[in-house]
Structure 1
Amino acid sequence: MLRRSFALGSLAGLTAAVAGLSPDARAQVHRSRSGTLDQAMVDELRSIGAGYRRSYKSFPASALVPVAHGQLQLVTSLKPKTQPAQLRTSLLAHMAEMAALAAVLLSLDLGDQEQADAYMDLGFQIAREIGSVELSALILAGRAFGTSYGGDPDAGLDYALAAVDAAERGASVRMRAWTNAVASEMYSSTGDEHGFRSSIEASRSLLSGSLDDERWGGIAWFDLSKADAYEGSDLVRLGRYEEALPSLDQAIDRLSPEMLRHRCTAFISRAEAHAGAGHVDQACEDGHAALDLVEQVQHGETLRRVTELHRTLRGSGTAGTRSLSEHLIETRTQLKAARSAA
């Protein structure tokens, strides 16, 4: 059914995925047509997948999407539905995680919502089939971003609240915290300050308690530094620019250096806060910082936001806005070349 419902693409991705396995695991792949996989091979796949999900913090989108795609091809070639129940569930969970990773990259980084939706559909189908509330919550929250950024913030909020409800049915504590942070963003996008504050407070409260991170099935990471970034960005959406700055300052100070995408979005949020507060030079400085990171990770949503920022500031006619304009053009040219080469 999975093979019929989703086009898995080129043989090259499968070949690369197999090559990345240990010699014993590669031998298992070649023998898989005639028997049951062993647990060690499946555990290796899950470990590789966890590494790829963490790589979202800093890997360019055009490099990471084919990797996730290749993992989907590899697991499909292993015929997970013919495996014993425990192995089958683990293989399908790996597929759902890789589908979610590809979907987020395609939607927020590469701007291909149609393909992102196909991956989301696959991931959600699998999550429901194996009864994983962790993965259901992850994918519903991903839907919230795509829907809201696509112009329907009310529907985005519906998805986010569905993600919170799913997570509360037994997901990891960090997943529950993250889905509440996503809900805070969706509330702020609809202008609901009470909803924003209650959700971000719930997120912080969860992060302050005991955690069960061996169960985390999310993409990259979520911690208090990211909660700071969500809070500051939410306040920008609500027009509370000066109030947003301390949270964003703290987020940028605390986000670890390898969290390039997270720092990227924090810088553009702080740029928007400075612009809203009338601090043109500081807004331009943060716009430059965001573009520097866009060039490394290819985060299309941040590029869109810097473009809007520049249009807002352009009328001031300062040297800073002219420099930001030049940087925008350079970044667009670089991203176009990178995507053509991928």
Structure 2
Amino acid sequence: MFDGGLLSIGELARASGLPVSALRFYDGARLLVPAQVDPRSGYRRYGPGQVAAARLLARLRRVGMPLADMRLLLAARDDRQLVGALVAEHLARLEAGLADARRELEHVVSETDPAVTTFRVAPTELRRALGAVTFALPSGTGSHAVPSAAEDSGVLDAVLFDVDGDRLTLVATDRYRLAVSSVPVTDRTGPDGRLPVPRAALPRLAELAGEHVAGRIDGAVMRLGELRLTAQPGQYPDYRQVTASVGGQRIPTDGAALRAMLTAGPLRSVPECSGPVAALGVDAAGTLAVLDADDAGFLTAVNRDFLLDAVAAAPAGQLVLDFAGPIHPLALRDPGDPASYSILMPVRLP
């Protein structure tokens, strides 16, 4: 097609894939200046050597590279290091833009699908709540640690994410203890949603960054930012049945003092319990104490090791023990955060 002579703007457009309007724009921007411009007609003529530059500009235009970077790349196209850096920088912009577009389109789908739950949550708050409940996951050892596969099919080897109103509640349990921690959410749409996240996927929450991330529960899949989390198979138990049975006599205590008290005892062994049992109550002075079961101030008995785990997961300082009676669960609360607490099933003493 080329005879070594100059090319009209139409010929260069056909050879490069750039529209005539783009060639005129690049001339005005001094990015691809014609070899000649007829002073009378204004017709532009291009040299055969400009075809390669025009084709390069066409590629860069198709991927949306900014004009300033196109100018740099065109001027230094023999500098492989600079070209590589400019291309890598633009790829990063494209990937970020695609992620933004994906999130916006997911919101479009969510807002038109009444079955999808969407929200925004702070990653730092989410990780704090997760750290407060994971101690109650089944440990896989001991007679009180994990229910049989036939009973639960492994569903308890997960943390439940429960979006209800303007709160996201995280729950972990092995049926002998239960831990709950709640964080606020914003921009809620759709119904309340819940999804048990498998234990193996929980470390991925450390990847979440930023002040807030978008969350989305759609059936058996939850998205948090760029994370895609699939539900643990099975039906997670209704933890509210347990939390509703808690409440009664509240006794404040210091976390460190409680640990020392539980370590010193007295303790007892119960065949049905995997660990030492502590009988809790109030002594003659009306303060919390580890007692013998036949003492007048006895309130309830629990697995001592489970209670120590709950104390370790709670914030340091003042705590509150919530007693409802010897056959009801014991709750350990943080007075500064009423939405986070632990519950221990009582141990029946012989």
Length-normalised TM-score, structure 2? 0.22
Give the number of the structure whose residues are more often strand, by fraction.
2
Q: With the length of structure 1 as denominator, give the TM-score of the two structures.
A: 0.22
Structure with greater helix percent:
1
